[in-house]
Amino acid sequence: MRHNAGYTAYGISGDPCPSSQDVRITRTLRDAAATIDISLIDHLIIGRRETDPTAAGCYSFRAAGTL
């Protein structure tokens, strides 16, 4: 685990598929934002195209319909 500039990175593989930790933090952020009447627009995970099974190189919770 590495802490840097306000975020925590877990096992950086380059694959942008969301982990259970990514899903959990997205829900936490969405719920926290809603309590102060702020909309969470999206949560993006940026990876490398060559390690992404979809070859997109990123994952959007909004585009996936999970936000």
| Residues 6+ positions from 66 with CB-CB distance below 8 Å | 23, 26
Q: Cβ-count burial of 67 within 10 angstroms (0-12 exposed, 13-18 middle, 19+ buried)? A: middle
pLDDT, mean of each 10-residue run, the chain (67 residues): 47 76 91 92 84 77 88
Let me know if residue 67 belongs to a domain: yes
Q: What is the pLDDT of residue 11?
A: 55
Residue-range definition of the domain harbouring residue 48: 15-67
CATH code of the domain in which 26 resides:
3.40.140.10
Residue 14, token pair as written in the block: 């380059």
Task: Specify the pLDDT at position 34.
Answer: 92
- pLDDT the model gives residue 2: 43
Domain annotation covers residue 19: yes
pTM of the predicted structure, to 2 decimals: 0.66
Tell the residue number behind the tokens 């942008």, with chain if given. 16
Q: Return the DSSP state at 14.
A: S
pLDDT of residue 16: 83
Confidence at residue 1, expressed as pLDDT on a 0 to 100 scale: 41
